[in-house]
Structure 1
Amino acid sequence: MDLLDFTGQEMYFDAPLPAEVDALIQDAASDYGSEGGASAELALLRAYFLAPEQLSVLVALYRYYYYQHRLEDALIVAERALALSARDLGLDGGWRELDEARLHELSQHAMPLTRFLLLALKGAGYLELRLERATEALERLETLARLDTEGRLGIDSLLRLARSLVTEQQIQGAGDNLHVLRRR
Protein backbone atom coordinates (compact mmCIF):
# COMPACT_ATOMS: atom_id res chain seq x y z
CA MET A 1 0.00 0.00 0.00
CA ASP A 2 1.35 3.40 -0.95
CA LEU A 3 1.03 5.85 1.94
CA LEU A 4 1.63 8.71 -0.48
CA ASP A 5 -1.31 8.02 -2.80
CA PHE A 6 -4.02 10.62 -2.22
CA THR A 7 -5.60 10.48 -5.66
CA GLY A 8 -9.05 12.02 -5.67
CA GLN A 9 -9.37 12.44 -1.91
CA GLU A 10 -9.75 15.67 0.03
CA MET A 11 -6.85 16.72 2.26
CA TYR A 12 -7.36 18.06 5.79
CA PHE A 13 -6.38 21.56 4.69
CA ASP A 14 -8.98 21.49 1.91
CA ALA A 15 -11.76 21.72 4.49
CA PRO A 16 -13.02 25.31 4.48
CA LEU A 17 -12.29 27.36 7.58
CA PRO A 18 -14.72 29.89 9.00
CA ALA A 19 -13.65 33.34 7.77
CA GLU A 20 -12.80 34.57 11.28
CA VAL A 21 -10.63 31.52 11.96
CA ASP A 22 -8.82 31.88 8.65
CA ALA A 23 -8.18 35.57 9.38
CA LEU A 24 -6.77 34.70 12.82
CA ILE A 25 -4.36 32.19 11.30
CA GLN A 26 -3.27 34.78 8.74
CA ASP A 27 -2.80 37.34 11.54
CA ALA A 28 -0.70 34.84 13.47
CA ALA A 29 1.51 34.29 10.43
CA SER A 30 1.98 38.04 10.02
CA ASP A 31 2.64 38.64 13.72
CA TYR A 32 4.94 35.66 14.30
CA GLY A 33 8.19 37.63 14.24
CA SER A 34 7.03 40.55 16.36
CA GLU A 35 6.85 40.85 20.14
CA GLY A 36 8.35 37.40 20.61
CA GLY A 37 5.33 35.94 18.85
CA ALA A 38 2.95 36.64 21.76
CA SER A 39 0.25 38.16 19.56
CA ALA A 40 0.63 35.25 17.12
CA GLU A 41 0.01 32.78 19.93
CA LEU A 42 -3.08 34.68 21.06
CA ALA A 43 -4.47 34.67 17.53
CA LEU A 44 -3.86 30.92 17.22
CA LEU A 45 -5.44 30.18 20.59
CA ARG A 46 -8.47 32.25 19.64
CA ALA A 47 -8.69 30.31 16.36
CA TYR A 48 -8.50 27.09 18.38
CA PHE A 49 -11.31 28.18 20.70
CA LEU A 50 -13.46 29.03 17.68
CA ALA A 51 -12.66 25.83 15.76
CA PRO A 52 -11.20 23.24 18.16
CA GLU A 53 -11.69 20.35 15.75
CA GLN A 54 -10.18 21.93 12.63
CA LEU A 55 -6.96 20.11 11.80
CA SER A 56 -5.63 23.19 10.00
CA VAL A 57 -5.89 25.14 13.25
CA LEU A 58 -4.12 22.37 15.16
CA VAL A 59 -1.34 22.20 12.59
CA ALA A 60 -0.82 25.97 12.82
CA LEU A 61 -0.75 25.84 16.63
CA TYR A 62 1.60 22.83 16.59
CA ARG A 63 4.00 24.60 14.26
CA TYR A 64 3.94 27.72 16.40
CA TYR A 65 4.84 25.82 19.56
CA TYR A 66 7.39 23.66 17.77
CA TYR A 67 9.26 26.63 16.30
CA GLN A 68 9.09 28.42 19.64
CA HIS A 69 10.81 25.34 21.14
CA ARG A 70 7.83 24.77 23.42
CA LEU A 71 7.89 21.06 22.90
CA GLU A 72 5.54 20.11 25.75
CA ASP A 73 2.89 22.41 24.29
CA ALA A 74 3.52 21.07 20.78
CA LEU A 75 3.07 17.52 22.11
CA ILE A 76 -0.27 18.44 23.69
CA VAL A 77 -1.44 19.74 20.31
CA ALA A 78 -0.10 16.63 18.53
CA GLU A 79 -2.03 14.44 20.98
CA ARG A 80 -5.19 16.43 20.24
CA ALA A 81 -4.66 16.00 16.50
CA LEU A 82 -4.10 12.27 17.01
CA ALA A 83 -7.27 11.94 19.09
CA LEU A 84 -9.41 13.84 16.58
CA SER A 85 -8.10 12.04 13.52
CA ALA A 86 -8.44 8.64 15.26
CA ARG A 87 -12.02 9.49 16.21
CA ASP A 88 -12.85 10.60 12.66
CA LEU A 89 -11.36 7.36 11.34
CA GLY A 90 -13.46 5.29 13.75
CA LEU A 91 -10.50 4.19 15.86
CA ASP A 92 -12.27 4.26 19.20
CA GLY A 93 -9.14 3.04 21.01
CA GLY A 94 -6.96 5.66 19.32
CA TRP A 95 -3.82 5.04 17.30
CA ARG A 96 -2.87 1.98 19.36
CA GLU A 97 -5.64 -0.07 17.74
CA LEU A 98 -4.26 0.53 14.26
CA ASP A 99 -2.87 -2.60 12.61
CA GLU A 100 -2.09 -3.55 9.01
CA ALA A 101 -5.60 -4.83 8.29
CA ARG A 102 -7.24 -1.70 9.69
CA LEU A 103 -4.74 0.52 7.88
CA HIS A 104 -5.58 -1.18 4.60
CA GLU A 105 -9.31 -0.76 5.27
CA LEU A 106 -8.93 2.93 6.13
CA SER A 107 -6.72 3.61 3.13
CA GLN A 108 -9.56 2.61 0.82
CA HIS A 109 -11.76 5.55 1.80
CA ALA A 110 -9.74 7.94 3.97
CA MET A 111 -6.09 7.80 2.97
CA PRO A 112 -5.30 11.51 3.51
CA LEU A 113 -6.68 11.48 7.06
CA THR A 114 -5.01 8.13 7.76
CA ARG A 115 -1.70 9.52 6.57
CA PHE A 116 -2.26 12.64 8.68
CA LEU A 117 -2.71 10.41 11.73
CA LEU A 118 0.50 8.52 10.89
CA LEU A 119 2.47 11.75 10.44
CA ALA A 120 1.04 13.17 13.68
CA LEU A 121 2.17 9.96 15.37
CA LYS A 122 5.64 10.42 13.89
CA GLY A 123 5.71 14.05 15.06
CA ALA A 124 4.63 13.05 18.56
CA GLY A 125 7.31 10.35 18.62
CA TYR A 126 9.93 12.88 17.60
CA LEU A 127 8.78 15.25 20.34
CA GLU A 128 8.92 12.43 22.89
CA LEU A 129 12.55 11.86 21.84
CA ARG A 130 13.36 15.54 22.19
CA LEU A 131 11.75 15.50 25.64
CA GLU A 132 13.93 12.50 26.57
CA ARG A 133 11.00 10.09 26.80
CA ALA A 134 12.55 7.33 24.76
CA THR A 135 10.17 4.56 25.85
CA GLU A 136 7.11 6.55 24.79
CA ALA A 137 8.79 7.53 21.53
CA LEU A 138 9.72 3.94 20.82
CA GLU A 139 6.13 2.74 21.26
CA ARG A 140 4.94 5.25 18.67
CA LEU A 141 7.76 4.67 16.23
CA GLU A 142 7.57 0.87 16.42
CA THR A 143 3.86 1.11 15.65
CA LEU A 144 4.71 3.15 12.57
CA ALA A 145 7.45 0.70 11.55
CA ARG A 146 4.96 -2.19 11.67
CA LEU A 147 2.50 -0.25 9.51
CA ASP A 148 4.85 1.45 7.04
CA THR A 149 6.40 -1.63 5.47
CA GLU A 150 7.71 0.36 2.50
CA GLY A 151 9.43 3.00 4.63
CA ARG A 152 7.53 5.91 3.08
CA LEU A 153 7.26 7.87 6.35
CA GLY A 154 11.03 8.09 6.85
CA ILE A 155 11.24 6.94 10.45
CA ASP A 156 14.30 4.67 10.28
CA SER A 157 16.78 7.05 11.91
CA LEU A 158 14.27 8.09 14.59
CA LEU A 159 13.53 4.44 15.33
CA ARG A 160 17.24 3.59 15.65
CA LEU A 161 17.75 6.56 17.97
CA ALA A 162 14.77 5.61 20.15
CA ARG A 163 15.98 2.01 20.43
CA SER A 164 19.46 3.18 21.31
CA LEU A 165 18.19 5.59 23.96
CA VAL A 166 15.94 2.95 25.53
CA THR A 167 18.90 0.57 25.69
CA GLU A 168 21.07 3.25 27.29
CA GLN A 169 18.35 3.97 29.84
CA GLN A 170 18.10 0.27 30.66
CA ILE A 171 21.87 0.08 31.10
CA GLN A 172 21.88 3.13 33.36
CA GLY A 173 19.00 1.65 35.32
CA ALA A 174 21.04 -1.47 35.97
CA GLY A 175 23.71 0.63 37.69
CA ASP A 176 26.92 -1.16 38.61
CA ASN A 177 25.32 -4.54 37.98
CA LEU A 178 25.96 -4.31 34.26
CA HIS A 179 29.08 -3.40 32.33
CA VAL A 180 29.02 -2.91 28.60
CA LEU A 181 31.95 -2.94 26.23
CA ARG A 182 31.57 -0.57 23.33
CA ARG A 183 33.32 -0.81 20.02
CA ARG A 184 35.13 2.32 19.04
Structure 2
Amino acid sequence: MMPDTFVSPQVEINEALVTGALLGRGLPSEVEHHLGEAGLSYHLDDIAERHLREAAALAPDHAAVLIGLYRFYFYKGRLAEALAVARRCLLKAAQENNLPDDWRSVRADDAEFGRYENILPRFFLFSLKGYAYLQMRLGETDEGRLAVQKLLELDPTDKIGAKVLLGVLERMGHDDE
Protein backbone atom coordinates (compact mmCIF):
# COMPACT_ATOMS: atom_id res chain seq x y z
CA MET A 1 0.00 0.00 0.00
CA MET A 2 1.23 3.51 -0.77
CA PRO A 3 1.71 6.08 2.02
CA ASP A 4 -1.12 8.50 2.66
CA THR A 5 1.05 11.46 1.71
CA PHE A 6 1.70 10.14 -1.79
CA VAL A 7 0.14 12.21 -4.56
CA SER A 8 -1.41 10.01 -7.18
CA PRO A 9 0.18 10.17 -10.63
CA GLN A 10 -3.30 10.82 -12.00
CA VAL A 11 -3.58 14.05 -10.05
CA GLU A 12 -0.28 15.07 -11.58
CA ILE A 13 -1.39 14.02 -15.07
CA ASN A 14 -4.59 15.97 -14.62
CA GLU A 15 -2.87 19.10 -13.32
CA ALA A 16 -0.32 18.95 -16.10
CA LEU A 17 -2.78 18.55 -18.93
CA VAL A 18 -6.23 19.83 -18.03
CA THR A 19 -5.57 23.34 -19.21
CA GLY A 20 -3.08 22.33 -21.90
CA ALA A 21 -3.63 22.38 -25.60
CA LEU A 22 -3.22 18.62 -25.75
CA LEU A 23 -6.55 18.00 -24.07
CA GLY A 24 -8.56 20.63 -25.85
CA ARG A 25 -7.22 19.97 -29.31
CA GLY A 26 -9.89 18.43 -31.47
CA LEU A 27 -12.30 17.56 -28.68
CA PRO A 28 -15.83 17.41 -30.16
CA SER A 29 -18.45 19.23 -28.11
CA GLU A 30 -20.45 16.02 -27.60
CA VAL A 31 -17.38 14.36 -26.08
CA GLU A 32 -16.78 17.39 -23.89
CA HIS A 33 -20.41 17.16 -22.76
CA HIS A 34 -20.05 13.48 -21.80
CA LEU A 35 -16.83 14.15 -19.92
CA GLY A 36 -18.50 16.99 -18.04
CA GLU A 37 -21.50 14.84 -17.18
CA ALA A 38 -19.22 12.05 -16.01
CA GLY A 39 -17.57 14.48 -13.64
CA LEU A 40 -20.88 15.77 -12.33
CA SER A 41 -22.19 12.24 -11.78
CA TYR A 42 -18.95 10.79 -10.39
CA HIS A 43 -20.76 9.61 -7.26
CA LEU A 44 -23.17 7.58 -9.42
CA ASP A 45 -20.83 4.93 -10.78
CA ASP A 46 -23.07 3.51 -13.51
CA ILE A 47 -24.05 6.92 -14.89
CA ALA A 48 -20.52 8.34 -14.76
CA GLU A 49 -19.08 5.27 -16.43
CA ARG A 50 -21.79 5.34 -19.11
CA HIS A 51 -20.82 8.93 -19.97
CA LEU A 52 -17.16 7.99 -20.08
CA ARG A 53 -17.91 5.09 -22.38
CA GLU A 54 -19.96 7.38 -24.64
CA ALA A 55 -17.03 9.79 -24.78
CA ALA A 56 -14.69 6.89 -25.54
CA ALA A 57 -16.97 5.67 -28.32
CA LEU A 58 -16.82 9.11 -29.95
CA ALA A 59 -13.12 9.86 -29.37
CA PRO A 60 -11.41 6.64 -28.24
CA ASP A 61 -7.83 7.89 -28.49
CA HIS A 62 -8.24 11.46 -27.30
CA ALA A 63 -6.04 12.25 -24.30
CA ALA A 64 -8.92 13.92 -22.45
CA VAL A 65 -11.04 10.78 -22.74
CA LEU A 66 -8.19 8.50 -21.72
CA ILE A 67 -7.39 10.63 -18.70
CA GLY A 68 -11.06 10.77 -17.74
CA LEU A 69 -11.28 6.98 -17.87
CA TYR A 70 -8.03 6.62 -15.94
CA ARG A 71 -9.17 8.96 -13.20
CA PHE A 72 -12.50 7.23 -12.84
CA TYR A 73 -11.01 3.75 -12.56
CA PHE A 74 -8.15 4.90 -10.36
CA TYR A 75 -10.27 6.72 -7.81
CA LYS A 76 -12.90 3.98 -7.79
CA GLY A 77 -10.17 1.51 -6.86
CA ARG A 78 -10.48 -0.38 -10.12
CA LEU A 79 -6.74 -0.51 -10.53
CA ALA A 80 -6.50 -3.23 -13.17
CA GLU A 81 -8.80 -1.19 -15.42
CA ALA A 82 -6.82 1.96 -14.62
CA LEU A 83 -3.65 0.10 -15.63
CA ALA A 84 -5.18 -0.85 -18.97
CA VAL A 85 -5.94 2.83 -19.60
CA ALA A 86 -2.45 3.84 -18.39
CA ARG A 87 -1.04 1.55 -21.08
CA ARG A 88 -3.21 3.31 -23.66
CA CYS A 89 -2.01 6.69 -22.35
CA LEU A 90 1.59 5.53 -22.70
CA LEU A 91 0.99 4.48 -26.28
CA LYS A 92 -0.81 7.75 -27.07
CA ALA A 93 2.01 9.75 -25.46
CA ALA A 94 4.62 7.77 -27.38
CA GLN A 95 2.82 8.42 -30.66
CA GLU A 96 2.38 12.14 -29.90
CA ASN A 97 6.13 12.40 -29.20
CA ASN A 98 7.26 10.17 -32.11
CA LEU A 99 8.75 7.72 -29.61
CA PRO A 100 9.00 3.94 -29.82
CA ASP A 101 5.77 2.20 -28.78
CA ASP A 102 7.63 0.25 -26.08
CA TRP A 103 8.57 2.62 -23.25
CA ARG A 104 11.63 0.47 -22.52
CA SER A 105 13.14 1.57 -25.85
CA VAL A 106 12.73 5.31 -25.20
CA ARG A 107 15.99 7.20 -24.66
CA ALA A 108 16.60 10.50 -22.91
CA ASP A 109 17.49 12.26 -26.15
CA ASP A 110 14.33 11.07 -27.95
CA ALA A 111 12.37 14.10 -26.64
CA GLU A 112 12.92 17.17 -24.50
CA PHE A 113 12.06 15.39 -21.25
CA GLY A 114 14.14 17.83 -19.22
CA ARG A 115 12.04 20.83 -20.22
CA TYR A 116 9.08 20.64 -17.90
CA GLU A 117 7.09 23.20 -19.90
CA ASN A 118 6.99 20.86 -22.92
CA ILE A 119 3.56 19.30 -22.53
CA LEU A 120 3.94 16.27 -24.83
CA PRO A 121 7.12 14.86 -23.26
CA ARG A 122 5.62 15.58 -19.85
CA PHE A 123 2.47 13.64 -20.82
CA PHE A 124 4.72 10.67 -21.59
CA LEU A 125 6.53 10.97 -18.26
CA PHE A 126 3.33 11.27 -16.24
CA SER A 127 1.80 8.34 -18.11
CA LEU A 128 4.85 6.23 -17.35
CA LYS A 129 4.72 7.30 -13.70
CA GLY A 130 1.06 6.28 -13.48
CA TYR A 131 1.95 2.96 -15.10
CA ALA A 132 4.78 2.39 -12.62
CA TYR A 133 2.60 3.27 -9.64
CA LEU A 134 -0.21 0.95 -10.72
CA GLN A 135 2.21 -1.89 -11.36
CA MET A 136 3.47 -1.45 -7.81
CA ARG A 137 -0.04 -1.30 -6.34
CA LEU A 138 -1.00 -4.46 -8.22
CA GLY A 139 2.02 -6.32 -6.86
CA GLU A 140 4.15 -6.21 -10.01
CA THR A 141 7.05 -4.54 -8.22
CA ASP A 142 9.73 -5.66 -10.69
CA GLU A 143 7.85 -4.05 -13.59
CA GLY A 144 7.14 -1.00 -11.45
CA ARG A 145 10.84 -0.69 -10.58
CA LEU A 146 11.84 -0.91 -14.27
CA ALA A 147 9.40 1.87 -15.12
CA VAL A 148 10.67 4.04 -12.25
CA GLN A 149 14.26 3.48 -13.36
CA LYS A 150 13.28 4.50 -16.91
CA LEU A 151 11.63 7.63 -15.51
CA LEU A 152 14.83 8.58 -13.70
CA GLU A 153 16.84 7.91 -16.86
CA LEU A 154 14.56 10.20 -18.89
CA ASP A 155 14.14 12.79 -16.12
CA PRO A 156 17.39 12.72 -14.11
CA THR A 157 16.49 15.93 -12.25
CA ASP A 158 13.27 14.19 -11.15
CA LYS A 159 10.87 16.99 -11.97
CA ILE A 160 7.93 14.57 -11.81
CA GLY A 161 8.87 12.91 -8.52
CA ALA A 162 9.78 9.37 -9.54
CA LYS A 163 12.13 9.14 -6.54
CA VAL A 164 9.06 9.00 -4.32
CA LEU A 165 8.10 5.74 -6.01
CA LEU A 166 11.67 4.48 -5.77
CA GLY A 167 11.63 5.24 -2.05
CA VAL A 168 8.44 3.24 -1.64
CA LEU A 169 10.01 0.31 -3.49
CA GLU A 170 13.11 0.49 -1.31
CA ARG A 171 11.02 0.51 1.88
CA MET A 172 8.88 -2.47 0.85
CA GLY A 173 9.44 -5.42 3.11
CA HIS A 174 10.95 -3.33 5.89
CA ASP A 175 9.04 -2.99 9.12
CA ASP A 176 7.91 0.54 9.84
CA GLU A 177 8.84 1.67 13.34
Equivalent residue for 1:52, pick from 60, 71, 75: 60
Tell me what 2:95 maps to.
Answer: 87
Runs of at least 4 residues off by over 3 Å:
none
Tell me what 1:29 maps to.
Answer: 39
Residue pair 1:11, 1:113 contacting (<8 A) in 2 also: no
Decide which structure has the larger Cα Rg and report it: 1
* Offset, 1:117: 0.7
Tell me what 2:149 maps to.
Answer: 142
Q: Deviations over 1:135-184 (max 9, x none)?
A: 0100100000112111211111211222454xx5xxxxxxxxxxxxx9x8
Aligned-residue CA RMSD (Å)? 2.3
List gaps (5 residues or longer) in structure 2. Answer: 1-15
Equivalent residue for 2:162, pick from 142, 149, 155: 155
The number of aligned residues is 156
State yes or no: 1:102 paired with 2:110: yes
List gaps (5 residues or longer) in structure 1. Answer: 1-5, 169-181
Equivalent residue for 1:126, pick from 120, 133, 140: 133
Larger helix proportion of the pair: 1
- What is the TM-score of this pair, normalised by structure 2? 0.79
Q: CA 1:93 to 1:54, structure 2 compared with 1: closer, same or farther past 3 Å?
A: closer
Cα distance between partner residues in 2 of 1:153 and 1:63: 18
Amino acid at match of 1:132: G
Amino acid at match of 2:127: A
Seq. identity, %: 32
State yes or no: 1:19 paired with 2:37: no
Q: CA 1:38 to 1:62, structure 2 compared with 1: closer, same or farther past 3 Å?
A: same
Equivalent residue for 1:68, pick from 56, 76, 101: 76
Amino acid at match of 2:82: A
